[in-house]
Every structure is written in C-alpha cells, then in structure tokens.
Amino acid sequence: MNNTRVVVTGAARDFGRTLAIRFAELGAEVYLSARSLEAAQATRDEIVALGHDKVHAFSCDLTDPASVREFAEQVGALTDRVDILINNGAMWLEGFDLGTATDDEIMATVTSGGAGTVLMVKHFLPLLRTSERPDIVNMVSMAASRRTDACSGNPAFYAAKGAQANFAEILSQRLRPEGVRVISLYPPDFKNVDPLGPDWESTDRRAGAPLTAQSLLDCVLFAVSQPRDCFIRSFNFEPTSNATKE
C-alpha cells in the first residue's frame, strides 16, 4: 500500500478505525473522517503513535451535504488523487420494531447510509478518476439481502443498506468502462476486535465462529490488491447463528 492514498469514513471507532489503522500500517496515506473532528483526531493520534505520520483527520457528517462537500474539498487541497475510497461510515440503529426508533433516528440512519454514500462518491469521483488504481469499497451489510433476517438492525437500517447496495450495483456497471472498480461487502453481524488489543491475533477464526473484523479486512485488502483486469463486485457471507455485533 505504499504511495496509496485511502479515504475512510466512520473511522473513529469499530471497523472504520480498524481500516484506517491497518491501511496506515501497510504504508498507505490515510484521510480519515468521523462526525466529530475530535473523534477523528483520536484515531489519527493512535496511528501517529504507531510511527505512521501520513494520516489526516477530518470531520464529516454523512447526513449533511455541505459537510461531505467540505470534506472532499479539504482532501483535494492536500492531494491530487485518491486511490481507494472506503464508504464505511453509516449510522447503526438497533431494534426489531420500527416503532422503537424516533423519526430523527430513522432520517439520520437512512440518510447517512444511503444518501451519504452517494454524496461521497459524487464528490470524490474527480480525485478517483486521476488515480491509476481507483477503487470504491462499500461496507454494506447482509441487511441489504431480501433473503435473510440475520442482521439485528432496525428496519430503517435495512432500508439504508438496501439503498446503498442498489447504488453500488449500478455504479459498478457504469464506472467499469473507466476502470473504476466498485467493491461491496455484505457481512452479517460480526465480531469487531480492537486492532491494537491483545485479542487481534488470538481471536477464534475457525469454522463455526462468528465472522471477524480480521477476515473482513483480509477481503478488502485482497480485492484492492488484485490486477486491474480483476473486477470483484461483491463479497457475500454466510450468517452464523452465534454472530454478534460488537
């Protein structure tokens, strides 16, 4: 990942933080965002403490078009290209019953996961088009599948991920002639282990164990490392009965 420039949304915690840390450790220059600038800076500081100084922190609220535009403009002021855009940020909403969520929570969930992804691609596409290896990676969810109820999210979360998945599908077809790859992952709830914690190397990854952040990261790295004639559109995962979101 040396000389690779990577944008990661939702990088303050959970899998977004994992992506930012691991890409930086592999030599990439990382442009990470979170709704709170302080939260993004906390992840940046962790990465710098590991000895990697090619990392930049920004605030970006995926429910606010102006915030997304400003994020893209700020990144564009620092670099003339983006090689990998990872759409990881989205609001998580618990609850089997739609009625347990407030109207504001529903709007924020659907907007961040759906419109937020569309806006990120729109405003970062000029920087991606100047790259020799442009990839868009979407962290979707098994919630986008019509065939399963394996995700513990609220129905509004399902709606958001459905929108994100449909956008990714048409985007893959329309950007392929330009050489821009669109890669989407559809995991069930998974075990999100701290990449800097003691359990990162010892987490159970045998058959029957819940899907782990380590395995998701391996899939992302595998896809973006392939030669440019290899277009991997999606990774679909089998749910496991003992999977839990952490």
Q: Domains in the chain, start-ordered, CATH in brackets?
A: 5-236 (3.40.50.720)
| Residue 16 pLDDT level (bands cut at 50, 70, 90) | very high
For residue 58, list its beta bridge partners: 33
Q: In terms of DSSP H, where are the helices of 54-212? A: 65-76, 103-110, 116-129, 155-175
Distance CA 244, CA 132 (A): 38
Say what the pLDDT of residue 101 is.
Answer: 87
pTM, two decimals, is 0.93
Say what the pLDDT of residue 95 is.
Answer: 77
Whole-number percent of the chain with pLDDT over 70: 95
* Chain Cα centroid distance, residue 89: 6
Say what the pLDDT of residue 226 is.
Answer: 97
* Chain Cα centroid distance, residue 4: 17
